[in-house]
Structure 1
Amino acid sequence: MTYDKNSGDDHRPNLPPSSGEQLAALRILDANFNRVSEGLRVVEEYCRFALEDRHLAQNAKEIRHDIGHLAAGISPETLAKARETLRDVGTGVTLGSEKTRAGILDVVIASTKRVEQSLRAIEEYAKLGYPQLSAAAKQLRYRAYTLARAMLLTDHHRQQMAKRLLYVLIDGRASDAEFASLVRMLVEARVDVLQLRDKRLTDRQLLEKAQLLKSLVEQFAPAGAEETAERPLLVMNDRPDLALLARLDGVHVGQDELPVDAVRKIVGPEMLVGVSTHSIEQARQAVLDGASYIGCGPVFPSNTKQFGSFVGTEFLAQVAAEIQLPAFAIGGITLENLPQVTAAGFSRVAVSAAVSSAADPATAARLLKTELLAAAARQA
């Protein structure tokens, strides 16, 4: 019987593996089950003690436990009989680069790679007699990819937005002059994020207003503000296409708008993608979807947007307890009810009327920022 490697058809007989092959495959599976569990423990400890993110630590723990269930598909006695650590030629093979790490993040990145590679080894070698185990390992590998991304993005965006506490939503105002006056006041008041949201404008008008916003901020921000986080980040509501055309910093979408992966196909990997969440389940999913930050609300009734229900501060407390991705409380927040928000563990808020409709927007923004800085210091 012949096999033409160029034909695409494999005519080789489907023979069972020899006893020697079976033993080797079991040794490989045993080693990689251990390697995955060990790597996931490193990842879990990083999420727990370094990120202090209960949601991601829980995900790591669940994958680790599922690996245990997966390994149970082969009897422990069978794996133990195949194990031969003393004569393993690989125990003495070590690269110099494996002996040191530049930092804690390098430790966890190395472990995530080890987990992914080991799951691939399990997937391939389990095909020799354990096809269901192979399919399950494949799905766990995809979950490991998702966890690794969420973990790295949480760390990155937490650092990127460490000093970003006050997020203000603005509309296009009645005229460009009025718009420019408001933007100047907010930039000088050190607002951290500005979102352009105006359902009244046509697409062309909205794009022009976004371009004007960018030019105004570049004009009003102090020299070097980009590097010191003193220039506000600029975000477009709902419209990734217009955010990209106006060269803003990000786009914010709700639960009824495009999902994060679809937004990424439009704006690319660098732009911020914020997501509105109204429940802890939505918040958890946004983290796994790769959001840059989340909005959490509506907390209180608002004059600028109508909602049928309000999540209250209970939802904020849930998010604060388990998610470290930057999260902004939103919905009817004012200087008067801000203590309820900070008491729930939040030091970031997104507001609209509390600043943009105030008699003195700059003063309103400064007062909110002062309280948020104090809350952040207490929660540190």
Structure 2
Amino acid sequence: MSSRKHQLHVITTGKQELPQLKELFEGCPTELIDVLHIREKQRGAREVAEWYLGLEPYFPLSSIYINDRLDAALAVGAPGVQLGYTSLSVRASRGLLPSGVRIGCSVHSREEAAQAVEEGPDYVLFGHIFASGSKPGLEPRGLDALEAIVQACPLPVIAIGGMEPERVEEVAATGCAGIAVLSSILLHDRPAEQIVRFREALDRTHYIPRRRFP
């Protein structure tokens, strides 16, 4: 895993096909991304595994995590998984996965974060922070809620929802360990430039994560 101060996670949108993403990443500085998450809820285990194997050559210096589908993660030997509300529990997943596989847990409140921490994930992903096209009609939780989670949680916290390069500084000020981005990179007209802008903003900030990734 990268020794960078803040992590940049990129999550697939569920709106693109594998050939589109291969073409997109062909021209992108993927080494600036710490983790790519394959989050394709509408696809079965076989297809998710195919996505992992298809995208792996484009990320020689980054990790690829699989969202929810432990069967696909086991099949391809993914180094990490991201669990949601309807996924298996962290504890059950830990019992199935090989030692060393990182487990992230998506949470939406301090109560959910506290419950998740008891089960022993490696980090939590909290959001959505700002208004987000992937969460239409849902009130964003905001920076104050993010900071409260960061202060209460003994694990690294990744912020998600409505992330833009110009917002990185105020997000980093909460003490979070990084950000996760979907459409602002993968549906952008110039994704390669966006990756650079996000990475530069994260590296430029003087704020230090309250809990860093080991």
Query: 2:185·2:191 contact (CA, 8 Å) conserved in 1?
Result: yes
| Residue of structure 2 equivalent to 1:174 | 17
| Structure 1 counterpart SS, 2:17 | coil
How far apart, in 2, do the equivalents of 1:171 and 1:212 lie? 16
How far is the alpha carbon of 1:283 from its aligned partner?
1.8
1:169-225 Cα distance to aligned partner (Å, 9 max, x none): 12573352x2222233445451111001123333322221112122432xxx3xxxx
| Residue of structure 1 equivalent to 2:115 | 285
1:72-94 Cα distance to aligned partner (Å, 9 max, x none): xxxxxxxxxxxxxxxxxxxxxxx
User: CA-atom RMSD, angstroms?
Assistant: 2.2
How far apart, in 2, do the equivalents of 1:324 and 1:367 lie? 29
How far is the alpha carbon of 1:308 from its aligned partner?
3.1
Query: 1:243·1:251 contact (CA, 8 Å) conserved in 2?
Result: yes
Normalised TM-score (structure 2): 0.85
| Structure 2 counterpart SS, 1:275 | strand
Between stretches 361-370 and 335-344, larger displacement belongs to: 335-344
How far apart, in 1, do the equivalents of 2:127 and 2:13 lie? 20
Q: Does 1:206 align with 2:36?
A: no
How far apart, in 2, do the equivalents of 1:215 and 1:238 lie? 22
More helix by share: 1
Q: Any stretches of 5+ residues in structure 1 without a counterpart?
A: 1-159, 222-230
For 1:251-262, list aligned pairs within 5 A.
Answer: 251-262=81-92
Q: Does 1:317 align with 2:147?
A: yes
Residue identity matched to 2:33: V
How far is the alpha carbon of 1:245 from its aligned partner?
0.7
How far apart, in 1, do the equivalents of 2:137 and 2:102 lie? 26
Structure 1 or 2, whichever has the larger Rg, is 1
Residue identity matched to 1:279: S
How far apart, in 2, do the equivalents of 1:313 and 1:329 lie? 9
Query: 1:189·1:366 contact (CA, 8 Å) conserved in 2?
Result: no
Q: Does 1:349 align with 2:196?
A: no
Normalised TM-score (structure 1): 0.50
Residue identity matched to 1:285: Q
How far apart, in 1, do the equivalents of 2:84 and 2:137 lie? 13
For 1:1-380, list aligned pairs within 5 A.
Answer: 162-163=3-4, 165-171=7-13, 173-176=16-19, 178-188=20-30, 190-217=32-59, 221=60, 231-306=61-136, 308-375=138-205, 377-379=206-208
Query: 2:91·2:119 contact (CA, 8 Å) conserved in 1?
Result: yes
How far apart, in 1, do the equivalents of 2:139 and 2:82 lie? 21
How far apart, in 1, do the equivalents of 2:132 and 2:75 lie? 31
How far apart, in 1, do the equivalents of 2:27 and 2:159 lie? 23
How far apart, in 1, do the equivalents of 2:2 and 2:109 lie? 22
Residue identity matched to 1:354: S
Query: 2:39·2:66 contact (CA, 8 Å) conserved in 1?
Result: yes
More strand by share: 2
1:238-297 Cα distance to aligned partner (Å, 9 max, x none): 111111112211110112321101111221332111000111222223222110111011
Q: How many residues align?
A: 207
| CA separation of 1:168 and 1:196: change in aligned 2, threshold 3 A | same
